[in-house]
Structure 1
Amino acid sequence: MAHKSDIQIAREAKKRPIQEIGEKLGISSDDLLPYGHDKAKVSQSFINSVQDRPDGKLILVTAINPTPAGEGKTTTTVGLGDGLNRIGKKAAVCIREASLGPNFGMKGGAAGGGYAQIVPMEEMNLHFTGDFHAITSAHSLLSAMIDNHIYWGNELEIDTRRVVWRRVVDMNDRALRQITTSLGGVANGFPREAGFDITVASEVMAILCLAKNLTDLQERLGNMIVAYRRDKSPVFARDIKADGAMTVLLKDAMQPNLVQTLENNPAFVHGGPFANIAHGCNSVIATTTALKLADYVVTEAGFGADLGAEKFMNIKCRKAGLAPSAVVVVATVRAMKMNGGVAKADLGAENVDAVKSGCANLGRHIENVKSFGVPVVVAINHFITDTDAEVQAVKDYVASQGAEAVLSRHWELGSEGSADLATKVVEVIEKGEAAFAPIYPDEMSLADKINTIATKIYRADEAVMDGKIRAQLKEWEDQGYGNLPVCMAKTQYSFTTDPERRGAPTGFDIPVREVRLSAGAGFVVAICGEIMTMPGLPRVPSAESIRLNADGDVEGLF
């Protein structure tokens, strides 16, 4: 039987009006701000009104280090949400919004797959409710105001060689990584070097995803460091007087978006920082709101557990006072085989030995997640080519690691295929064994925090930082930033900084190339190895095959 493409399945979805989805969570239509018939924002006044309610249980979905075979983290998040509703639980899903850059680059979309998808799929992968455009605009306003301040006499005495605020655009455009601005004479200002990051790497994105409300948002925006003076003292966004106008631009973007799964269950899609360069989680406001409205909330963190889950625990949960009750680590037989050295072209053939040798990566992630004091369930995201012997090999391995693996067939069967996984997750949560704690205390020095993640999570021998970086960290500590968590920017493909080193390597160092202070978001970024904050497009970008068909429907998003 030929399987339908994700976009065909999404197009055939029997969507319900968004007001009906809101009703499932007790949100009246007056408290929904509709964007068309199938998307809405939840009003801030409604969010404020439910703050005294108890919280539901939070479930994090994470994965092994990604392989080109694809692990299906979002698909599993959606499938588990539907599965929990199927077994009679009141559950909601919280995921991130998709960035246009990767959609037109490698990825082609990020709304789940098969019969475990969030709809409307095309809008979610394109402009959606305009949140990313608002973030880009707010970021650009600040960029313009900084250069304008310098042009009109530079009252703040900004050292133009030390403007650290880069520009952003929501597209993969390597030509913009390093640029020169203000060329063309006196009327255009003072020439200087600058550069662009992708919107999802903007500190404004991180702030939107970590802010509790609009007041908190404006304060954090004001706290962003945009430049330094000659005496190295920082210049803040509030000194440029941009924080008020930026908050105005972000007013609607701050409100979480409500959409639905293919099975008409509620899903919040809000925020979208990348997990390899930022903290990679759905917004705090969406997650905390969902916890007030549902008994179980399933959320995902980007890429492998070494990045997404670590940042979810050490940054998001620490800052928002959240504590997950269980973590689901997604793995596939195909990815185990790739970790075991099988080429992508040969993944279809049974190879139990390769599955076994590839399990080491999964084992390390299980151990790491447990180190946060949270129980783990492994979801084997089923592919049609998986054989019983291969699936059993993964189950046996996970059992040897003191956890349990459940085969989940949500891609193919929707909630019918994920009911077993949902039942197991509820069973684990009801044992009440979660005793969540971040793996380092606030008081630890910044260099030690970086080293703790490098040694405990990546299993490196150490994080290598030269004297200049250590002096910079020390300076920030002296300025009162020492209690911030760290956000590691490194490749998602490996525990190391070498994307080719799969499995569970040991005997390596983590080189820290530079550190950046995100004083508004509230973390210090450590850039490790060769990591790009502005991706490029591949030789054959997805954009080449995205088009409208004769009926005006989108083709090529997947």
Structure 2
Amino acid sequence: MSHKSDIEIAREAKKKPIQEIGDKLGIPSDHLLPYGHDKAKVSQEYIDSVQKNETGKLILVTAINPTPAGEGKTTTTVGLGDGLNRIGKKAMICIREASLGPNFGMKGGAAGGGYAQVVPMEDMNLHFTGDFHAITSAHSLLSAMLDNHIYWGNEQAIDTRRVTWRRVVDMNDRSLRQITSSLGGVSNGFAREDGFDITVASEVMAILCLASNLKDLEKRLGAMIVAYRRDRSPVYCRDIKAEGAMTVLLKDAMQPNLVQTLENNPAFVHGGPFANIAHGCNSVIATTTALKISDYVVTEAGFGADLGAEKFMNIKCRKAGLSPSAVVLVATVRAMKMNGGVAKADLGEENVDAVKKGCPNLGRHIENVKSFGVPVVVAINHFVHDTEAEVQAVKDYVKEHGAEAVLSRHWAEGSKGSEDLAKKVVEVVDAGNANFGPLYPDDMPLFEKIETIAKRIYRADEVLADKKIRDQLKLWEEQGYGNLPVCMAKTQYSFTTDPNLRGAPTGHSVPVREVRLSAGAGFVVVVCGEIMTMPGLPSKPAAENIRLNDAGEIEGLF
């Protein structure tokens, strides 16, 4: 049994030159723009050339609500991709890029784990191919041009009290959440309240992940609302004339990054919006391209199915015309026990009763995913201490809920351990029983969309929103934004807005604190309960243990 750390396993990987990975997919090497030997961007020209190909089958990996016990969604995505290749399928995985903030904080990286990882792990968790820097720069350019516009006479008559465009940096830095900018007198402009979000919460990130090409990207950037005038009319990015230069900065970032798994299977890693405050899926361009060059595409959506999967279905699939053939719902025995009331320190001991008690969280996610018309397979991501009786308890529970659970050992064994899961998924996909449809129609009023998600996915009794919020939604409907989907910003730890409420609670209400219009990305963000668009670092950040060793290798990144 291996007890190597993820980074040690990743370091021992027998990587192939990225051109060979491209060969597997039939991408000619002159259409790969290499970044070193082990990563490359795929040219827009090549992407355009495959659009008439047949479309492969799309498989979404999602999970129960995250717990400190760990679920392993990315690990399962990678393991399943390798497993599909192992049983002779032409399969690809599509995941998100990692944000620096959580890497140096407490959440860690985003490349999978154990023997189900994407490499180069260090690069992916650090600067990678510079996409996030490009997004940060494009966002900052607009911030600078907006304040500059106000400084040089404010031709658009912007009300400086109503500038909605905040700044971003890709780091967890709580001291920047609320600041005052332009202090220091006349030469520095007009002092105003301001603040920073983390780069992955930027609307530019959401747009990059939803845009179908550079033209679409530029149009969406231009449509972003950056401020309001005194008469409350919106000022758009195109009024500041920033969208052209922003597109130039994002030109390369728009192209998907090709890398490989430990088993040399192809993976696109591209884009990375947060799933609790944004839509939490990798880019549409990566997913749609993968579907044109492979038969099975495995992708994931952030956090639990109440957030990631809901947004994947209602926002990403709706906007990109995608239709998933199956959903893999990741659960662990440890997380079931934690939902069943066991403390983290006691998770190593067998406790079948606690497993059973924690299963309703899984049951509710199964029902929710099925309500989109897509069949579900439950993947039990195996941990060393799981006992047969505990695993059986989960399998029995899932069976009662009209699905099947498969134990998968990809973390310890790679594709050998995920073969059973891969076979089951192929069986479900090829049966062709998916009849996908989003949860609500485009033309439903915005507040009703919010209520639909709150009642049908979170199982809440009511949505609490004061008149100001309801009026704001009505105004946006009058301005022609009523057909947009809603992007719910809420805690990932619970079906409710209370992060401490585990299991499958009912009888709760969903308080809406504010609503924000992302007119460029094409959704309305609904902020529920306490949710941070700029995380902070924990008392002992992971960064304290990250360093270069004597061999010049990175230590402490996980």
Cα distance change on mapping 1:322 and 1:2 into 2, 3 Å: closer
| Cα deviation digits, residues 304-357 of structure 1 (max 9, x gap) | 000000000000000000000000000000000000000000000000000000
Please list the CA deviations of residues 474-528 of structure 1 after superposition, one character each: whole Å capped at 9, or x if unmatched. 0000000000000000000000000000000011000000000000000000000
After superposition, where does 1:423-438 map in structure 2 within 5 Å? 423-438=423-438
2:79 corresponds to: 79
Q: What runs of 5+ residues in structure 2 fail to find an aligned partner?
A: none
The answer to whether structure 1 residue 373 and structure 2 residue 373 are counterparts is yes
Q: Give 1:462 deviation, angstroms.
A: 1.2
TM (norm. structure 1) is 1.00
Distance (Å, rounded) in 1 between the aligned partners of 2:50 and 2:465? 46
Distance 1:295 1:469 in 2: 45
Cα distance in 2 for residues equivalent to 1:431 and 1:81: 19
Q: Distance in 1 between matches of 2:371 and 2:86?
A: 31
The separation in 2 between residues aligned to 1:330 and 1:165, in whole angstroms, is 37
The residue matched to 1:239 in structure 2 has which SS?
helix
Matched with 2:248 is: 248
Q: Which residue in the other structure is 1:200 paired with?
A: 200
C-alpha distance in structure 2 between counterparts of 1:172 and 1:446, whole Å: 32
Q: Distance in 1 between matches of 2:490 and 2:161?
A: 27
Identity, in percent, stands at 84
Does the 8 A contact of 1:100 with 1:171 survive in 2?
yes
| Paired position in structure 2 for 1:53 | 53
Q: Which amino acid aligns with 1:93?
A: I
Please state if 1:22 is matched with 2:22: yes
Distance 1:290 1:272 in 2: 17
1:28-80, Cα deviation, whole Å (9 max, x unpaired): 10000000000000000000000001100000000000000110000000000
Aligned to 1:406: 406
What TM-score do you get using the length of structure 2 for normalisation? 1.00
Q: Which residue of 2 aligns with 1:396?
A: 396
Give the match for residue 452 of structure 1: 452
Asked if 2 retains the 8 angstrom alpha-carbon contact of 1:206 and 1:279, the reply is yes
1:108·1:556 contact (CA, 8 Å) conserved in 2? no
2:290: which partner in 1? 290
The corresponding residue for 1:364 is 364
Q: Is the 8 A contact 2:2 2:412 kept in 1?
A: no
* 1:310 equivalent in alignment to 2:310: yes
Q: Is the 8 A contact 1:221 1:243 kept in 2?
A: yes
The one-letter code of the counterpart of 1:163 is V
Give, as a single letter, the amino acid of the residue that structure 2 aligns with 1:99. S
- RMSD across aligned positions (CA): 0.4
4+ runs of 1 displaced by more than 2 Å? none
Contact 1:83–1:422, Cα closer than 8 Å, also in 2: yes
**Counterpart of 2:534?**
534
**Equivalent in the alignment of 1:92:** 92
SS of residue matched to 1:452: helix
Length, aligned pairs only: 558
Structure 2: distance between partners of 1:550 and 1:499: 42
Which residue identity is paired with 2:396?
D
**CA deviation after TM superposition for structure 1 residue 108, in Å:** 2.2
Letter of the 1:179 partner, please give it.
I
After TM superposition, the structure 1 = structure 2 runs for residues 174-253 of structure 1, keeping only pairs within 5 Å, are 174-253=174-253
Encode CA deviations 1:154-179: one digit per residue, 9 max, x unaligned: 00000000000000000000000000
Alpha-carbon offset, residue 2 of structure 1: 5.2
Deviations 1:244-284 (A, max 9, x none): 00000000000000000000000000000000000000100
Alpha-carbon contact 2:330-2:380 (below 8 Å) kept: yes
- On the 8 A contact 1:329/1:379 being kept in 2, the answer is yes
Unpaired segments ≥5 residues, structure 1: none
Query: What secondary structure, in the 3-state scheme, does the structure 1 residue paired with 2:402 have?
Result: coil
Q: Which residue of 2 aligns with 1:552?
A: 552
Return the alpha-carbon distance in structure 1 between the equivalents of residues 443 and 389 of structure 2.
48
* Separation in structure 2 between the aligned mates of residue 131 and residue 470 of structure 1, nearest angstrom: 37
Matches within 5 A, 1:516-527: 516-527=516-527
What is the CA–CA distance in structure 2 between the aligned matches of 1:543 and 1:463, rounded to whole Å?
39
